[in-house]
């Protein structure tokens, strides 16, 4: 557990204590419902609430100090008065990160951030800290960085998630990664970032912040964007190949996937070294790429191939992130946390690869959000890429449903195979009676996982 010096906090933020804290400061919290004993409460102002009104609640819940922009005399807890509590909190996070003697790995990408982070946490070592949940934005990153403790952690894997221009510079300035990973450049948040070039430009800011002797791991797809050209001296490009031998370049990692019953054989070659073989859960090609990146970083950090393999045996995709479930003997591919054109294609390819064309497949697709002006075309293209056999069915809900349907009809799907539903609950009956594999994917807002609450109807 980290400890914070109250004098140092005042120096880092140019702040003033109303009274010196007498209890150890062990972290930070922004919500009185989750604040823990010993933490400093950050009094944030939003359109809906003012954290300054909750200082007494924070104190009652265990907070021993507060970060405020105005002193509240009706609260007995020590208050560090600063210009802006959020900015001060971010400054504290940056300065605390600089005191951390372990290695910090920053992860970003239009898809695959969380899976890469979790595989890295698994394969690096027990003394690895990793971003919890989706705490990857301007609030989440400082919450994570202020938990770093060199006495407990040798590595920190920190996610950086953005939705608009300028946000990555702020996150990168706090994270200051020793190693950076960019998994994918795709049509995510293009409503705010414009186009793929805008996404690439914003994502490139994280690897640009890598320390002088650090490394940058890019998927081959990412490395093709000119926004990453200036990083060539530090970057390692990770590529999928059809035939694996030693890599032709020292700064390359190449991998080959061989699907087997229930698992994926992953062969990885690092630079000029001979390939190494690993066994992981049956996953998509994109997930295999993320595993290859994690393996490469672990091996570069001195973790033996035997240790990596042992730890990978225990790894499974996170719930609802490319997860394969068994529902009364029926395979369900469940991916309900992120949906953009690239992640949709990757997941669909994986699902088709692990099922048979003779099986009746049910596709349940939620909308892909925040695509901006390309939304209609992206949803049409998604439908046009679906190969619906006569016994397959397609359920659609949310943004772009009509466009997905039009795309599917454009490649000779039968209209009777396709149903648009107004809300997810209306798909429960179809799920209950379906007798084949099911693919479920859409943006988080649709909560498509609620379809798993169905009680399957037995046949015969």
Residues 331 and 444 in one domain: yes
Q: What percent of the chain has pLDDT over 90?
A: 83
pLDDT digits (tens, 9 = 90+) for 366-419: 999 989 899 999 999 999 999 999 999 999 999 999 999 999 999 989 999 999
- Same domain? For 148 and 59 the reply is no
What average pLDDT does the segment 1-10 reach? 96
Q: What is the mean pLDDT of the chain?
A: 93
**Structural domain includes residue 196:** yes
* Range 137-141 average pLDDT: 98
pLDDT at 271 over 90: no
- Residues 49 and 109 both lie in one domain: no
The pLDDT, as a whole number, for residue 451 is 94
Could you tell me if 272 and 133 lie in one domain?
yes
SS3 state of residue 39: strand
The domain boundary, picked from 278, 313, 348, lies at 313
Give residue 244's pLDDT: 57
**Confidence tier at 448 by pLDDT (50, 70, 90):** very high
Q: How far is CA 392 from CA 120, 407, 416, 459, in A?
A: 37, 16, 10, 18
Give the pLDDT of residue 261. Answer: 81
pLDDT above 90 (res 246): no
Q: Are residue 325 and residue 308 in the same domain, yes or no? A: no
- Tell me whether residue 94 is in a domain: no
The predicted pLDDT at position 457 comes to 61
Do 334 and 272 fall within a single domain?
no
One domain, residues 122 and 265: yes
Please indicate, yes or no, whether residues 104 and 232 belong to a single structural domain of this protein. yes
**Paired tokens of 15:** 């702040």
pLDDT (average), residues 182-209: 92
| CATH number of the domain to which 230 belongs | 3.40.1190.10
Write out the residue range of the structural domain in which residue 32 sits: 6-84
Does a structural domain hold residue 211? yes
Number of domains in the chain: 3
The mean pLDDT of 187-192, rounded to a whole number, is 82
Query: Cβ–Cβ contacts within 10 Å for residue 115, how many?
Result: 26
Place of tokens 């510079």: 169
Picking from 453, 452, 173, 177, the residue whose alpha carbon sits closest to that of residue 335 is 452
Same domain, 52 and 114: no
State yes or no: pLDDT of 176 exceeds 50: yes
In a domain, 254, yes or no: yes
Q: How many angstroms separate the CA atoms of 362 and 406, rounded? A: 18
Least confident segment among 40-54, 216-230, 312-326, 355-369: 312-326
Domain co-membership, 357 together with 448:
yes
* Rounded Cα gap, residues 212 and 312, in angstroms: 31
Distance between CA atoms of 169 and 279, rounded to whole angstroms? 37
Can you tell me the mean pLDDT for 115-138?
Answer: 94
Q: Are residues 353 and 302 in the same domain?
A: no
Per-residue pLDDT of 290-322, as tens digits, reads 999 999 999 999 999 999 999 998 898 888 889
pLDDT of amino acid 409: 97
Q: Rounded mean pLDDT of 121-131?
A: 94
Judgement on whether residues 29 and 131 belong to the same structural domain of the protein: no
User: Under a CB-based contact definition with an 8 Å cutoff, are residues 161 and 137 in contact?
Assistant: yes
Q: What is the domain-level CATH number for residue 46?
A: 3.40.1390.10
Residue 460's pLDDT band, with cuts at 50, 70 and 90, is very low
Last-in-domain residue among 84, 108, 123: 84
Residue 345: give its domain's CATH number: 3.90.190.20
Query: How far is CA 96 from each of CA 9, 36, 161, 163, rounded to the nearest angstrom?
Result: 10, 19, 20, 25
């Amino acid at each position: 557990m980290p400890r914070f010096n109250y004098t140092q906090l005042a120096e880092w933020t140019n702040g003033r204590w109303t009274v010196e804290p007498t209890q150890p400061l062990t972290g930070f919290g922004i919500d009185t419902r989750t604040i823990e004993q010993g933490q400093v409460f950050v009094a944030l102002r939003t359109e809906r609430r003012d954290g300054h009104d909750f200082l007494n609640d924070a104190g009652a819940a265990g907070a021993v100090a507060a970060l405020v922009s105005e002193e509240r005399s009706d609260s007995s807890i020590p208050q560090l008065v600063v210009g802006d509590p959020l900015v001060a909190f971010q400054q504290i996070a940056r300065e605390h990160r600089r005191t951390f003697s372990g290695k910090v790995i920053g992860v970003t990408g239009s898809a695959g951030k969380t899976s890469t982070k979790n595989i890295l946490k698994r394969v690096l070592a027990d003394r690895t800290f990793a971003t919890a949940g989706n705490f990857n934005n301007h609030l989440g990153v400082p919450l994570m960085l202020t938990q770093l403790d060199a006495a407990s952690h040798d590595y920190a894997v920190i996610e950086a998630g953005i939705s608009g221009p300028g946000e990555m510079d702020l996150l990168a300035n706090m994270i200051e990664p020793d190693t950076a990973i960019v998994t994918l450049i795709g049509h995510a948040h293009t409503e705010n970032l414009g186009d793929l070039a805008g996404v690439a430009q914003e994502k490139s800011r994280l690897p640009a912040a890598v320390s002088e002797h650090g490394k940058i791991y890019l998927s081959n797809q990412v490395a093709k964007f000119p926004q990453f050209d200036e990083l060539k001296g530090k970057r390692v490009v990770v590529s999928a190949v059809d035939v694996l031998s030693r890599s032709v370049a020292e700064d390359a990692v190449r991998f080959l996937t061989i699907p087997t019953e229930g698992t994926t054989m992953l062969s990885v070659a690092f630079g000029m070294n001979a390939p190494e073989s690993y066994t992981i859960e049956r996953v998509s090609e994109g997930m295999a790429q993320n595993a290859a990146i994690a393996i490469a970083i672990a091996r570069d950090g001195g973790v033996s191939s035997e240790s990596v393999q042992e730890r990978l045996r225990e790894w499974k995709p996170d719930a609802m992130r490319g997860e394969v479930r068994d529902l009364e003997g029926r395979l369900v591919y469940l991916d309900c946390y992120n949906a953009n054109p690239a992640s949709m294609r990757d997941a669909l390819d994986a699902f088709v690869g692990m099922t048979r064309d003779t099986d009746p497949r049910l596709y349940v697709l939620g909308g892909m959000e925040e695509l901006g002006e390309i939304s209609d075309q992206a949803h049409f293209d998604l439908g046009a890429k679906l190969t619906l056999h006569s016994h397959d069915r397609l359920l659609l809900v949310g943004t772009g449903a009509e466009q997905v349907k039009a795309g599917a009809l454009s490649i000779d799907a039968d209209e009777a195979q396709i149903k648009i539903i107004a809300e997810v609950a209306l798909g429960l009956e179809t799920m209950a009676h379906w007798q084949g594999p099911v693919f479920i994917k859409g943006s988080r807002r649709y909560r498509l996982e609620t379809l798993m609450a169905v009680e399957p109807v037995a046949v015969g």
